[in-house]
Amino acid sequence: MFVCAEQYSEFLEANRCENSDDRYLQLRELLDALPDCNYNTLKFLMQHLNRVASHQDENKVCSVNILHFQYPQFTQ
């Protein structure tokens, strides 16, 4: 897991913020607080999954499918 249980709940809470500017700022602060190793690994993974989703016409893997597949990995 890239974030500890306490941080995970903070990420969920920040994501519930209705104002998109405030949500962005809260999530940015949480990401900046991650240890470099965790942040860099998460960044690499997100970039990779974005590349996979960008080829959904060829690989039939859309962002929703990635979410269903990867979400359990983030929450364990």
Whole-angstrom distance, CA of residue 1 vs CA of residue 7: 11
Residue 53: the pLDDT is 85
**What mean pLDDT comes out for the span 5-28?**
91
Query: Is 9's pLDDT higher than 80?
Result: yes
Residue 36: the pLDDT is 93
pLDDT digits (tens, 9 = 90+) for 19-67: 999 999 999 999 999 999 989 988 998 899 888 888 888 888 877 877 7
Whole-angstrom distance, CA of residue 13 vs CA of residue 37: 23
Q: Where in the chain are the domains?
A: 1-34, 44-76
